[in-house]
Amino acid sequence: MQDLVRNLLAELGENPDREGLLNTPRRVEKALKFLTSGYAADIDQVLNNALFTVDYSEMVIVKDIDFYSLCEHHLLPFFGKCHVAYLPSNKVIGLSKIPRLVDVFSRRLQVQERLTSQIAETISEKISPLGVAVVMEATHLCMSMRGVEKQNSFAVTSSMLGTFRSDARTRMEFLELIKLRSAASTRSSAGASLVCVDE
């Protein structure tokens, strides 16, 4: 990987042997391995048996989870907040495991729509709740640094499963609690707009 980075620097018109760039290939390799560490993660190991049988039937929400990911089309960052909710049937998941789950899927080459769905579907698979809701709002550097160069735009995506998809009142309660009322009509993992189209 370091040789590839050196070649890339040269192709960009730089001198990979100058002082400021001598250690850049090593740093880039280390950074990319961290930013894509989600590929090697074992979901069950991440959850570490933190699934508990509990007599609780109200909505569980973890909101404002910071996340950072890499757009698979340009390898530029996109980042923002993730909000997760579920309605337990007979199991709950340890609260700290939900941000860890977000990290697993965000530390891969991603598109925001797929990232949103993967988080929701994994929670649904692991604890079989009555419903799962995930909303993600993110700034994409591929939109603000290049292309359309719109610095103040952000994308909102949602995935609503089970009760959150079928029951408008449950969905509205969740969106009100995370203060994203404008997303009330979003009923699938499709985003507010297509982000980072392949060019």
pLDDT tens per residue across all 199 residues of the chain: 999 999 999 999 999 999 999 999 999 999 999 999 999 999 999 999 899 998 888 999 999 999 999 999 999 999 999 999 999 999 999 999 999 999 999 999 999 999 999 999 999 999 999 999 999 999 999 888 877 666 677 899 999 999 999 999 999 999 999 985 444 444 444 444 344 433 3
**Span 48-183 CATH architecture:** 2-Layer Sandwich (3.30)
Query: Is the dihedral angle over the CA atoms 180, 77, 103, 132 positive or is it negative?
Result: positive
DSSP state for residue 89 in the 8-state scheme: S
CA pair distance 130, 161, nearest whole angstrom: 8
CA pair distance 88, 110, nearest whole angstrom: 28
Q: In sequence order, what are the residues at sequence separation of 6 or more whose Cβ sits closer than 8 angstroms to the Cβ of residue 7?
A: none
CA pair distance 29, 43, nearest whole angstrom: 24
The whole-number pLDDT of residue 185 equals: 42
CA pair distance 98, 88, nearest whole angstrom: 14
The whole-number pLDDT of residue 199 equals: 38
pTM: predicted TM-score of the whole model, two decimal places: 0.86
The whole-number pLDDT of residue 164 equals: 97
CA pair distance 12, 19, nearest whole angstrom: 17
The whole-number pLDDT of residue 194 equals: 40
For the chain, what are the domain ranges? 2-35, 48-183
CA pair distance 83, 134, nearest whole angstrom: 6
Q: What are the residue numbers of the active site?
A: 71-74, 112, 140, 142
